[in-house]
Amino acid sequence: MIDSHCHLDHEPLISDLSNVIQRSKNVGIKKLLTISTSLESFSKIKEIINKDDIIYGTIGIHPHESEKDIIKSDEIIKILKSNNKIIGVGETGLDFYYNHSDKNKQINSFREHIEASIQSEMPIIVHSRNAEEDTFRILNDYKNKNLKILMHCFTGSREFSKKLLTLDSYFSASGIITFKNSIDLQDTFKSLPLDKILIETDSPFLAPVPKRGKKNEPSYIDFTAKKLSEILKITKLELIEITTNNFNKLFSIKQL
C-alpha cells in the first residue's frame, strides 16, 4: 500500500515518528508521501524524508497559507532538482470555504505551482474546496501542457470528476469514503476508471471508520483500502495493487 498524502510534520505524528513508520510497515505500507503546506512545513519535511527509505515529500503552499507564504515557480523547480525524494508539487489549489484568504492570492499561488509542475514534469497535488468551477477553469487553461494532476482527498461532485477526467486527472480517496453520509462520494468513485484512483489518509486529519474522532495516522489507510475495495466490488489485494501501480506511474518512481 501507499499513503499518497499524509502530514508527518504535524503533531502527534512527528513526535512519535519512528513508531508511526513502524506501524505503517506493519500493515504493508511501502511508501509514505508527506505533503508540504507552508515554508515552515517544508523545512521539517526536508529532515523527515531522511528518516526512512519509504518516506518521500513534496514542496508547496496550501491555499490557506498563500497570504503569508509566497513561492515562485522557479524556486519550486530549484528545490525539486536538488532532492530526488521531493517528488511532487503541492499541496496547492483553491479553498473558498472560509473567507480568511484572499482569492486572488490563492489563484496566483496556484498558477505558480502549476507552472512549476509543468516545467519539472512532476505531479501537482491539488486541494479544492468550495471552488470547483474556478479550480477546473484554471487547470483547463493548461490542458495542452501535459500537466499531471492528483486531486487530493477528492470530495467533489460527479460532474466535477467528469470534467477533471478530460484533463487525465487522478483522484485520491481519503477516510471520508468510509463515513456513513458519503454515499454520493462513494457513487462518484464507482464511476471513476480504476487506473485513476489512489488512496490516502491526510493524517493526522480525517481518521476513517472505525477510528473516526481519533487522530489519524498512515497505518489507518488499511481501513480506507478495505472500504473502497468493497465499494468498487474488488478484493482489497486488487485495490492495493491497482492504487500502488497508479501511484508509481503518476510519480514515475520504481515499485519496491
Number of domains in the chain: 1
Q: What is the pLDDT along the chain (256 residues), one digit of tens a residue?
A: 999 999 999 999 999 999 999 999 999 999 999 999 999 999 999 999 999 999 999 999 999 999 999 999 999 999 999 999 999 999 999 999 886 568 999 999 999 999 999 999 999 999 999 999 999 999 999 999 999 999 999 999 999 999 999 999 999 999 999 999 999 999 999 999 999 999 999 999 999 999 999 999 999 999 999 999 999 999 999 999 999 999 999 999 754 4
Strand 31-34 versus strand 170-173 pairing type: unpaired
Task: Establish if 58 belongs to a structural domain.
Answer: yes
Task: Establish if 211 belongs to a structural domain.
Answer: yes
| Residues in CB range of 200: below 8 A, 6 or more apart | 3, 4, 5, 6, 152, 153, 172, 173, 174, 221, 224
The whole domain housing 215 covers: 2-251
| Residues in CB range of 188: below 8 A, 6 or more apart | 154, 156, 157, 158, 161
Task: Establish if 256 belongs to a structural domain.
Answer: no
CATH number for the domain spanning 75: value is: 3.20.20.140
Write out the H or E segment, with its range, that includes residue 55. Answer: strand 55-59
CA nearest neighbour of 101 among 38, 168, 150, 28: 38
Strand order in the sheet with 124-129: 2-6, 31-34, 55-59, 86-95, 124-129, 149-151, 170-173, 197-199
Task: Establish if 106 belongs to a structural domain.
Answer: yes
Distance CA 130, CA 198 (A): 22
Taking the model in full, what pTM does it have? 0.96
